């Protein structure tokens, strides 16, 4: 794990953090192996919130299973249901109307915005900067209101269905105007926050050079999403997704791989999301938002990958008599756990939670598979 870190293995004690800890939003456990107050090794344990979603999905009608995937995560719920729909739509040959595709993108980018803002707020809280955290939550409210307006809920919107999006997610002129206004407001507020953030010497001293993950280590540890891009790797699955073909956006990267890079990475990605949403609103094609002319049939095991706020989300299942079989879901946080552990090494205990949080973990989503270790 710590091949490239300093070769010191003097471990005086173990400091356990979690499963219940104020700096951790979710139930997970970090074991820090320390020398004085410097972390020499770290171990993250998940599995406390296991719900067995994949097992529950086994044998469910695909429509029900899709709805269930949304409950995997409260932050990236749209990503799960969208990817689950894509997993079935591809082998069934369902043509998604162009307008529905645009609305899906709008929902996904709004979700990315609120996820990144939540990440920044939580990061600020772990830094001990409650004022930044509070202000970011206020900024995030704009996105939450837009999501609530389109989907009917602030958290589980249920936008995607097989063949398009739900009728309630149709965007009329009034909604389009609200989204436009929301984007203007967000751009202004996020810019002001970013200026304040980078010009704060105290904050910069806390996050610069902390939790460094080099590009080589990020690739070795199979990092994904913004965690990977913050090390300088220009890898964004949205570039390869045909749903994003009509949109122009930049893949944001940072070079240092430290907490500062990770935070700034998300700040900059927010602007790209705003750019994509504006394009989608501007070019929103007319037409239906649902295609109901398709037939159910058995399909082989199909894999689908999409880029969600935390990285690459994987869904796979087969269909048999319209029911889901052999479902496997892998969330990006699972891929980033190695980086979280690695980032803690060599830093002060107070920075450990920051090193974990910098990778934007969502362990509740990750807690689905039970790993049975043969003793």
Partner 1 sequence: MSVAYSVIAVLGTLVVAFIVSLLLPGIERKFIHARIQQRIGPPITSPGIMAPIKFFFKQTINPNSPMPRLYNALPLISLLVVTVLLLFLIPQMYFVGALASVIAIIGFLKVEEVMYMFMGSLSRSVLSVRMPFPDIVKGAKHPETPRRFLEELSTLRAFRLIAFGSFPVYIALFVSVAVTGSIFLSDIVAYQQLHGPILFTVAGALGAVVFFIGYMILLNEYPFGILKAKADVIEGPYMEYAAKYRAYNYLTRGFLMFVLASLFATLFLGIAPNILNPNFIITIIVALLFPMLMAVMSAFSPIFTYKQFYPTVAAVSILGVLAIVAASL
| Residues binding partner 1 (CB under 8 A) | 11-17, 19-23, 29, 31, 33-34, 37, 41, 43, 45, 47, 124, 126-131, 134-135, 138, 200, 202-203, 205-206, 348-354, 373, 375
Cβ-in-10-Å burial (0-12, 13-18, 19+) of 189 comes to middle
Q: Which of the 8 DSSP states describes residue 348?
A: B
Shortest Å, Cβ 8 to partner 1: 13
Shortest Å, Cβ 33 to partner 1: 5
Shortest Å, Cβ 134 to partner 1: 4
Residue with smaller CB distance to partner 1, 21 or 275:
21
Within 13 Å of residue 251, how many CA atoms lie on the same side as its CB? 19
Residue with smaller CB distance to partner 1, 74 or 128:
128
Residue with smaller CB distance to partner 1, 23 or 198:
23
Phi/psi-derived region of residue 152, left when phi > 0, alpha when psi is between -120 and 50, beta in every other case = left
Shortest Å, Cβ 206 to partner 1: 5
Q: Please name every residue paired with 45 in a beta bridge, in sequence order, or none if there are none.
A: 29
Residue with smaller CB distance to partner 1, 31 or 180:
31
The span from the CA of 111 to the CA of 336, in Å, is 20
CA nearest to 284, candidates 165, 187, 184: 165
End-to-end CA distance of the chain: 22
Q: What angle do CA 235, 4, 342 make, to 5 degrees?
A: 65
The span from the CA of 260 to the CA of 307, in Å, is 22
Shortest Å, Cβ 203 to partner 1: 5
The span from the CA of 233 to the CA of 256, in Å, is 11
CA nearest to 219, candidates 338, 46, 366, 345: 338
Residue with smaller CB distance to partner 1, 135 or 156:
135
Residue with smaller CB distance to partner 1, 123 or 151:
123
Shortest Å, Cβ 54 to partner 1: 22
């Amino acid at each position: 794990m710590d091949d490239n870190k300093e070769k010191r293995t003097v471990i005086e004690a173990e400091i356990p953090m979690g499963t219940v800890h104020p700096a951790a939003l979710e139930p997970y456990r970090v074991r820090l192996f320390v020398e004085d107050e410097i972390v020499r090794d770290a171990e993250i344990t998940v599995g406390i919130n296991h719900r067995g979603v994949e097992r529950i999905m086994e044998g469910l009608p695909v429509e029900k299973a899709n709805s269930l995937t949304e409950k995997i995560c409260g932050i990236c719920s749209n990503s799960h249901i969208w990817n689950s729909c894509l997993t079935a739509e591809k082998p069934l040959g369902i043509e998604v109307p162009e307008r529905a595709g645009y609305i899906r993108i709008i929902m996904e980018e709004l979700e990315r915005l609120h996820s990144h803002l939540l990440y920044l707020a939580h990061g600020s809280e772990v830094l001990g900067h409650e004022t930044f955290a509070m202000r970011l939550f206020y900024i995030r409210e704009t996105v939450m209101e837009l999501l609530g307006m389109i989907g009917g809920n602030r958290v589980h919107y249920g936008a995607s269905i097989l063949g398009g999006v739900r009728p309630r997610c149709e965007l009329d002129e009034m909604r389009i105007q609200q989204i436009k206004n929301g984007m203007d407001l967000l751009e202004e507020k996020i810019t002001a926050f970013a200026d304040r953030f980078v010009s704060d010497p105290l904050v910069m001293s806390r996050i610069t050079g902390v939790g460094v993950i080099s590009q080589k280590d990020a690739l070795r540890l199979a990092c994904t999403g913004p965690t990977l891009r913050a090390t300088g790797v220009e890898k964004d699955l949205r570039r390869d997704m045909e749903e994003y073909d009509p949109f122009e956006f930049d893949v944001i990267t940072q070079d240092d791989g430290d907490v500062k890079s990770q935070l700034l990475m998300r700040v900059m990605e927010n602007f790209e999301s705003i750019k994509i949403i504006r394009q989608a609103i501007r070019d929103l094609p007319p037409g239906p938002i649902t295609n109901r002319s398709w037939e159910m049939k058995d399909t082989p095991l199909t894999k689908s990958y999409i880029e969600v706020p935390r990285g690459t989300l994987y869904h796979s299942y087969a269909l048999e008599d319209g029911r889901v079989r052999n479902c496997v879901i892998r969330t990006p946080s699972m891929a980033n756990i190695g980086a979280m552990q690695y980032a803690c090494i060599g830093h002060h205990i107070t920075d450990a939670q920051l090193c974990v949080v910098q990778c934007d973990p969502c362990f509740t989503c990750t807690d689905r598979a039970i790993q049975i270790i043969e003793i």
